[in-house]
């Protein structure tokens, strides 16, 4: 531990703004990447459910006609 207390850690020897800005932006960019991967998966799922319902409706209509 090279910092004496939490305040010194946040101040980063006077460079706090730059260090935390750099780490914050990096973290945000990676978070966006992770979340976009997760939502893509969920979107696929929704698309799939919609498609399946459509198929079911079509099948039902066919049964009614015949």
**Identity of the residue, 22 or 59, whose beta carbon is nearer to other proteins in the bound complex:** 22
Shortest Cβ 49–other proteins spacing (Å): 7
CA atoms within 13 A on the CB side of 28: 6
Phi-psi region of 14 (alpha: psi -120 to 50; beta: other; left: phi over 0): left
Contacting residues toward other proteins, per CB under 8 A: 1-3, 9, 12-16, 18-19, 21-23, 25-26, 29-30, 32-34, 36-38, 40-41, 44-45, 47-49, 51-52
Q: How far is the CB of 63 from other proteins (least distance, A)?
A: 21
């Amino acid at each position: 531990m090279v910092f004496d207390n939490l305040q010194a850690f946040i101040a980063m020897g006077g460079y706090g703004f730059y260090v935390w800005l750099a780490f914050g932006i990096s973290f945000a960019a990676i978070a966006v990447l992770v979340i976009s991967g997760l939502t893509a998966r969920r979107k696929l799922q929704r698309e799939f459910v919609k498609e399946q319902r459509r198929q079911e409706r079509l099948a039902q209509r066919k049964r009614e006609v015949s």
